[in-house]
Amino acid sequence: PEMARLVHASMAQWNDYHHEDEDVDGEERDESGVDYKSTGRDSLVFLVDASKEMFIMGEDEEPSPFDMTMQCVRSVYTSKIISSDKDLVALVFYGTEQSKNPRNSFKHVYIYHDLDLPGARRVQDVDGLRGEKGAQVAGETMGSGNTNLGEALWCCSNLYSDIKLRLSHKRLMIFTCRDTPHGGDSERDRQARTKASDLKETGVVIDLMHLMKPGGFDVSLFFCDVVSPPEDEAELGLQMEPCGKLEDLQKRVRAKEMKKRSVARLNLCLGEGMNVAVGVYITALQARKPNAIKLYRDNNEPVRTKTRLYHTQTGSLLLPSDTKRVQVYAGRQIVMEKDEVDVIKKFSDPGLELIGFKPMERLKLHHHLRSAVFIYPEEEMVTGVSNFNPFFTMCSVRNVFALCKYTRIRNSPPRFLALVPQKEEVDDGQAQIAAPGFHGIFLPYADDIRTLDTPQLPTASESQVDKMKEIVHKLRFKYRSDAFENPVLQQHYRNLEALALDLMAPEHIEDLTMPNVNMIDQRLGSLAQEFRDLVYPADYNPEGKTAPKRKPAEAAGGTEKKPKVEMSEDELRGHVQKGNLGKLTVPVLKDACKQFGVKVTGTKKQELIDALTAQLTK
């Protein structure tokens, strides 16, 4: 579950971004902008080798290739459930003893899950194939037998063609640790190659997720002719190493599993007649809990909501054109047509317009409004890349950012972006950790910056700063942006999972946002006390409320929460006569009521005052 969680919920609710700002004007809400309706569904088939070799445990208790694959499949299932619940996924085994496919026309191919939405049950199914027990289950239900990859691929191509929905992105991942699946049977090799090329012709992208095998995995023996050619030449070298670790495998699967979708395709206009086609992508955006749906009580089926506008007087239904928009200022209604409200927001056509360049240090850290976007040349366009490249390279060399005016869609008001060049970075395993392109940082307008009264306070002395440095030093860690899960989301999905599977209790989540207080205290030792002695006087309590009145209460430490201020009857009568009971606080009034045996029904201040006044003016 630990590893699964890494990918679990990985890209939750990208589609629900527009709930972030409850913007009535509806402007800029679909920043994620991906319309799945028009692009069709994504689909992914896991084609997993189930031969004996897949079940051999690695050294040092390393999980078997099969086990690793199942963990990956599970994490993709759960992440799909959360992030893109319209995507279709299938799980097919090859090299099995048993066969299970429509009409069982393909031997040694076992369709475990056909192409469909993943759900809680499927996650549970895959869980059942994990670990030692899972291997046993797999052995019993499917067994290991002959391999005919060609048949398996054929079977997969039927899965795709049986789907009546429009599929936009079709991907097939082969998980295996055998580089010569047919053991030299050239007829079967040929058959598999032909079937693979048939699949590729219908737009299926075939990836190889090859796993470590003793003696190394040689892709050139067979699989190089099966898989789809890489996106670019550079990638070719990177993917040739087999995965030995689950993390690597997951990383690799994750990088491939999501189709990159741009939120906009625009021209970056350098000047009159100088346009470079670019795509705008989102790489970091707050994931949110999805909206609840309404279900019919009797059958738990979702109900549809229909919103209707109707006229209060006549009861007749109104069309949008029967309405107008108003805002009221100084008591006057200002009326506009819906179209006018929209067109007011139009400034220029969609695009990125270069204003000029600034040195990088001019980009202020605190000029942050919302998640940045990522700008990359349109890959399909050769000229996009070749014209983008010099521009990109020089911005990077000169350490400048390009200031651009950004209009995302037709009626969106302009925002200014700082385009910051990002050079490509790869890790030791040659996996890309930072993609090359521009980060587009949204810059604030004058209205977005607030003027603050800054307090004038004394500053720390050198010895005080030095002590704090020791503290900072003790608590250093290496921050990684993907190391923290959102506990709110995790808890929510864990709850749903438990309900869907009738579990007794949801799986426990570890809240990584909580400070590890024990560990911190231990590491700091006496440092905290030493710093406190340096900066605080003995009688200062930094944890007390800002108002000092709380202090005596805490000092008393008794059972009483608040010291009771007994008020003499005369005092109270005085207040009543002067009519300034209202100056007393509610607790004092309540105490006074108790003290004088006044019965009050409500707790509102005026009710207390009225009751007291009634009592004392008798």
Strand partners, 438: 375, 421
- The single residue among 25, 132, 510, 554 that binds another protein, judged by CB under 8 A, is 25
**Rounded distance, CA 612 to CA 598, Å?**
7
**Greatest C-alpha distance within the chain:** 111
Stretch that binds another protein, among 131-139, 183-191, 397-405, 549-557 (CB under 8 A): 397-405
Q: Does 536 bind another protein (CB under 8 A)?
A: yes
- One-letter amino acid at 364 equals K
Q: Is 330 near another protein (CB under 8 A)?
A: yes
What does the alpha-carbon distance between residue 195 and residue 225 come to, in Å, rounded to a whole number?
A: 11
Looking at the Cβ atoms of 328 and 570, the one nearer to another protein is 328
Rounded Cα–Cα distance for residues 31 and 13 (Å): 13
Instruction: List the interface residues with another protein, window 476-515 (CB under 8 A).
Output: 476-493, 495-497, 499-500, 506, 509, 511, 513-515
- Please report whether residue 167 would count as binding another protein according to CB under 8 A: no
Given a contact cutoff of 8 angstroms between Cβ atoms, the answer to whether 13 and 26 are in contact is no
**What x-and-dash track marks residues 127-166 binding another protein by CB under 8 A?**
----------------------------------------
Per CB under 8 A, does 333 bind another protein?
Answer: yes
d(CA 24, CA 18): 11
User: What is the token pair recorded at 223?
Assistant: 């699989």
601, 590 contact by CB (below 8 A): no
Q: In 3-state terms, what secondary structure has residue 248?
A: helix
Least Å distance, CB 24 to another protein, is: 4
Instruction: Answer for the pair 377, 393: CB distance below 8 angstroms, yes or no.
Output: no
> Binders of another protein among 540-559, rule CB under 8 A?
540, 542-543, 546
- For the bound state, the minimum distance from the C-beta of residue 126 to another protein, rounded and expressed in Å, comes to 12
Catalytic residues: 37
Residue 504 amino acid letter:
M
Binding characters for another protein, 248-267, by CB under 8 A (x = yes): ------xx--x-x------x
Shortest CB 402 distance to another protein, Å = 9
Inter-residue contact 110 to 14 (CB < 8 Å): no
Rank residues 479 and 568 by Cβ distance to another protein and give the closer one.
479
Helix 65-83, helix 487-500: angle, nearest 10: 100
Tokens 């972006």 identify what position?
Answer: 417
Nearer residue to another protein within complex by CB, 537 or 558: 537
d(CA 34, CA 86): 13
Give the contact letters, 181-220, x = binds to another protein (CB under 8 A), - = no.
-------------------xxxx-----------------
Restricted to residues 298-327, the positions that interact with another protein (CB under 8 A) are: 298, 300-313, 318, 321-327
Question: Residue 614 Cβ, how far from another protein at the closest point, in Å?
Answer: 28
Contact between 394 and another protein per CB under 8 A: yes
Minimum CB separation of residue 56 from another protein in Å reads 31
CB of 142 to another protein, least distance (A): 23
Q: Which of 44, 45, 79, 51 is nearest to 66 (CA)?
A: 51
- Smallest gap from Cβ 17 to another protein, in A, equals 11
Q: How far apart are the first and last CA of the chain?
A: 72
437 to 476: interface string for another protein, x by CB under 8 A: x-x-x-xxxxxxxxxxxxxxxxxx---xxxxxx-xxx-xx
Pick from 1, 19, 21, 165: which binds another protein (CB under 8 A)? 21
Q: Is 409 an interacting residue with respect to another protein (CB under 8 A)?
A: no
Interacting residues of 8 by C-beta distance below 8 A, sequence separation 6+: 75, 78, 79, 82, 490, 493
Q: Site residues for another protein, window 43-82 (CB under 8 A)?
A: 77, 80-82
What are the residues whose beta carbons fall under 8 Å from the beta carbon of 248, sequence distance 6 or more?
429, 431
- Nearer of residues 107 and 370 to another protein, judged by Cβ: 370
- By CB under 8 A, the residues from 594 to 613 that bind another protein are none
Cβ pair 237, 430 in contact under 8 A: yes
**Least distance from C-beta 75 to another protein, angstroms?**
12
